Structures are given as C-alpha cells and as structure tokens.
C-alpha cells in the first residue's frame, strides 16, 4: 500500500497558459477546478510567464508549504520542475515532493503513461484530463524513475521520459484537434521526415539489465556510479552494438511516447529499467511506417521487423558520428554530441494509482 499525500493537501498547480494552443487555463477552470473544490483540496494556481520560470520558482520555493507540485501542461514543464528540484542544495528531500501531472495540451506522454498504469483503457483529451484529475484527488503516491543524462558540455540533466536520436515521429501532435483514426499519426511533418529518411552513423553501447535481478529501489543519489567519463571507454560489462548505422535510437522509461504511441507494453513508472529501442539502417519507408502505425496498439514488437531491436538496460552511451542530427530529452532538443545516461530507480515521487 502506498502512503497517500498528507491531508489536508496544499497543492501548487503550475500552468503554462500557452500550452494546448492556449487552452490550458480554460481546461483547468472548466474541468479541474470543480473537482479539486469538491475533494476539498486547497490549491494555489501559478501561471508561468516564460521558459525556466517554473524551474527558477521551484529552485527557490519553500517546499515545506506544499504537499504536492502539480504540473498542468505538456511534458516540458515537468522537466523544468524536476531539474529545478535537483538543482537545489537540499535536492535529496526536495525530490521527494510528490509531483502530479495533468495533460494540458501537447506532449502528454507521462499523463498517458500514468493513465495506462491505472489499467484503464486508452483515453485522450478531456477523458485523459479527467482521469488524471481523479488520480490527483485520490492522492496515492508512487515512485518514479529518473534518468540522469550527461551531455558533451559536461552538463547533467534529469529526465523522466525519454532520450531520442534520429528519426523521431511527431510526438507532439495536438490530438484533440483531429478525429482519431489509424493514420492520424501522419501530418505534414511526419510525411516529410519519412520522405527524407536518412541513416545516421554512431556508436551505441549499454549496460544490460541482468535478468531476474530486481533493481534496488533505495534512492540512488547522484553521483552516477555506473558511468565513466564521456572521454573514457565504456566498462567491459557493457554491450557494444556492432552496427553503426541507425535510423533511430530511443531510450524510454515510461510506457507511452505520446497519447497514441504505446512504446513499452509492460513498463511501469518505477521498474528501474531504461527500455532501449533502435532501428538499424536499411529499413524501408513502408516498414518504418508499419512500426509506428502498430505502436498505437503496442504491437510494434510483434511486427517481426528484423531492423527493430529492443533491450532492457540500466545505462547507455551514444556517440553520434554523423555531424548533423537531433537529440531530444523528454521531447526537447538538447545539444548534439556524445551522451550517456543512467537510471536512478524511484528517485522521485509521482501521484498515480
């Protein structure tokens, strides 16, 4: 049984008014406000004014005032909050603050994952929002894996969703705008991406998860014990992928990449696993399309595509050789260059269940 959020529960709700094509605030007042009032949850609404506003606020906040920090926006705002908490001197206590997520527009992968973990059938838009609102009111808290990511510039960031390189399908489609049909996944951006499909050169290595070992859930504080410096070779216990031609590399630690992209059947918020997928060069455009179409139902692994590889890992390193390309963390572009990552099981706390 999970310990619930303390009652009465004072909640700070951070809203990005530009999220969801400017609808986030309306969605809040229209659907959530009533729910929270009925559940007698005192809350304070904070409207973010610019990028990094949330990050700075959370870095300086007196966290003893709050029982939970709730983000009503896309995944980008949660990224700011998590990194703001980890940048504090008292990060060890700060990261224990329960976090809540309400889908506020585009890029709601965590909300979709959390909804999925509650074993409900897939939901979008308002239904997803109400489901997450309901979970917030129930106030059950679980643990959340975080992945620390080292960039070439020696910067370290904390990620809760994914690290991706290469062909990235449009994961931030505003699905409330389009009637949901199998082919919805393709808008102009995806078609153009498919049309200009290219192969990226790079080296990939990872530390496999040892089967039958349960990952330890004691909060692993940074430093990252599994990672040598980026300029050093990877440890011998790591597996080095033989191919150096990739269409995409995706490391994901939640079940969903988007509301309609169920990437990891069987994932949990705190399974302590980085689910590593890569697609090798040589795959045809129709075959790649087939994978993304199948991913809506989590059926991509059953496609039997020889170019798709899936491994469960605890740490990884990616060194792009192609001079140009894009690397994203939690959906946002980061500096392009060698990166490595390690999972910290259960480092944060999330309201779900």
Partner 1 sequence: MGTTASQLGKDLLSEYQELTFLTKQEILLAHKRFTELLTKDEKDLPNVRVPMEKILTLPELKSNPFRTRICQVFSTSIVKDGSLTFEDFLDLLSAFSDSATLEIKSHYAFRIFDFDDDGTLDCGDLEKLVNCLTGETEDTRLTPEEMRQLIHNILDESDIDKDGTVNLSEFQHVISRSPDFVSSFKIVL
* Binding stretches for partner 1 (CB under 8 A): 167-168, 177-179, 181-184, 186-189, 191-198, 284-287, 289-290, 293, 322, 324-326, 333
Q: Which of 62, 67, 75, 271 is labelled catalytic?
A: 75
End-to-end CA distance of the chain: 10
With beta carbons less than 8 A apart as the criterion, state whether 340 and 227 touch.
yes
Nearer to partner 1, 152 or 194 (CB): 194
Report, in Å, the least distance between residue 261 CB and partner 1.
16
> What DSSP letter does each residue of 232-277 carry, written as one string?
SPPPTTSEEPS--EEEEEEEE-SSEEETTEE--TT--TTS--EEEE
DSSP string, 301-344: GGG--TTEEEEEEEEEEEEE-SSS--EEETTEEE--S-EEEEEE
Nearer to partner 1, 92 or 284 (CB): 284
d(CA 299, CA 260) in angstroms, rounded, equals 12
DSSP per-residue codes, 26-70: HHIIIIIHHHHHHTT--EEEEE--STTHHHHHHHHS-GGG-SEEE
User: Closest approach of Cβ 193 to partner 1, in Å?
Assistant: 6
CA 236 to chain centre: 29
Listed residue (268, 251, 256) closest to 145, CA to CA: 268
Cis peptide before 8 (omega within 30 of 0): yes
Catalytic, 75? Answer: yes
74's CB contacts (< 8 A; 6+ apart) are 16, 19, 20, 103, 104, 105, 106, 107, 108, 172, 331
Each residue of 41-65: b (16+ CB within 10 Å) or e?
A: bebebbebeeeebbbebbbebebee
> Smallest distance from the beta carbon of 186 to partner 1, in angstroms?
6
**Cα separation, 236 vs 326, whole angstroms:** 28
Instruction: For residue 324, count other CB atoms closer than 10 A to its CB.
Output: 8
Min dist. Cβ of residue 278 to partner 1 (A): 17
Which residues are identified as catalytic?
75
């Amino acid at each position: 049984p999970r310990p619930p959020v303390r009652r009465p529960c004072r909640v700070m709700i951070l809203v990005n008014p530009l999220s969801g094509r400017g609808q986030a605030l309306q969605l809040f007042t229209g659907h959530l406000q009533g729910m929270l009032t009925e559940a007698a949850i005192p809350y304070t609404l904070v409207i973010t004014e610019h990028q990094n506003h949330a990050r700075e606020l959370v870095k300086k906040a007196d966290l003893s005032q709050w029982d939970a920090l709730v983000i009503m926006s896309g995944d980008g705002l949660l990224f700011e909050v998590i990194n703001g908490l980890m940048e504090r001197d008292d990060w060890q206590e700060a990261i224990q603050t329960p976090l809540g997520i309400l889908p506020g527009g585009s890029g709601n992968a965590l909300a979709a994952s959390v909804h999925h973990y509650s074993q409900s059938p897939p939901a979008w838009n308002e239904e997803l929002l109400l489901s997450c609102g309901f979970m917030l009111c129930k106030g059950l808290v679980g643990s959340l894996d975080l992945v620390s990511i080292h960039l070439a510039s020696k910067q370290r960031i904390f990620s809760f969703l994914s690290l991706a390189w290469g062909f990235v399908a449009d994961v931030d489609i505003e699905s409330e705008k389009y009637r949901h049909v199998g082919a919805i996944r393709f808008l102009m951006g995806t078609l153009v991406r498919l049309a200009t499909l290219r192969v990226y050169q790079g080296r990939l290595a990872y530390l496999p998860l040892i089967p039958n070992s349960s990952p330890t859930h004691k909060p692993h504080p940074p430093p990252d014990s599994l990672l040598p410096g980026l300029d050093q070779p990877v440890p011998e216990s790591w597996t080095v992928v033989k191919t150096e031609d990739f269409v995409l590399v995706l490391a994901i630690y939640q079940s969903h990449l988007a509301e309609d992209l169920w990437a990891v059947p069987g994932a949990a918020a705190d399974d302590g696993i980085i689910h590593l997928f890569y697609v090798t060069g040589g795959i045809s455009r129709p075959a790649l399309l087939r994978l993304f179409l199948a991913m809506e139902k989590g059926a991509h692994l059953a496609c039997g595509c020889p170019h798709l590889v899936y491994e469960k890992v605890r740490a990884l390193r990616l060194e792009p050789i192609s001079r140009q390309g894009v690397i994203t963390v939690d959906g946002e572009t980061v500096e392009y260059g060698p990166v490595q990552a390690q999972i910290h099981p259960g480092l944060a706390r999330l309201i779900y269940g």
